[in-house]
Structure 1
Amino acid sequence: MNVTSTTPQIGSTSAASTAVAAEARFGSERRRDLRLPVTLSARLRHGGRSYRTEILNLSRGGLLLAPVAAALLVPGTTIRVEAASIGEVEARVVSLSALGIHARVEDTSERFQNALVRLARLTRIWTAPDL
């Protein structure tokens, strides 16, 4: 899938992260596991190449990566995603959209699960209303 020039730039507040936050706020989430809105610098590895991207949200069963125009991905492709806070996980591309790369996490290691617990706690702290 080709991504147009309106692809969000790494490090900027993207339409994808705004849409994900709105989806969570208004309760339209349809996934089995609640996804945590995050912005984590990451590496996508596929076909012997490595691409810089960001994880925009993640859960026990999936994640959303910022679009990577140079990566030739199709649904069903197996990828590796690496980020300092979660380590390296294997995932399978479910779909590609203007929001980014939607992937199902194939890794259920204890390290990944513990990372999700830590990130969930941090997300609650970051999103808590001011007292």
Structure 2
Amino acid sequence: MGKWRWSRVGIMVAGFWVCGSAPPPGGAKVSLTYANASCNPEKSWSCLCVGSPGDASAPLQEIGVDLEALKKEGWPCVKGDFDRDGQADFAFPGKDYSCNGGVPVRVLFTRNGEVRDVSALPREVSCLQLYGIRSRKGPHGTPPTKR
């Protein structure tokens, strides 16, 4: 009996199961930050990231992310540690992002400044926002979290 090899790995992000594939190691560095350093993704659904997505350009372009805008002016994103490995991860909504309708989302997972994985959420999302850890019920009916 042969060994199973997994080319895709399931990861839980924001309560959704997503699948993705890892780019080859030793690629371009991810250099992303919020365009406005004071933007808080727990309070705003319109934070913009600016910089380079490293080797994640192709999957972001698939959903309509304008890489020139990302590099210069910024593109909507949510920065967090979605896989709880202590490294920054970024969720990017696709073209025409707004709270008026769903768009595809790609989640860029990093390790040591490089792209570790890029995953697609299984359904379109609107109003992408980070919900932080809280012991009591949060805004908009967000339930308490255990950690």
Q: TM-score with structure 2 length normalisation?
A: 0.28
Higher strand fraction (1 or 2): 1
Radius of gyration: which is bigger?
2
Q: Taking structure 1 as the reference length, what is the TM-score of the superposition?
A: 0.30
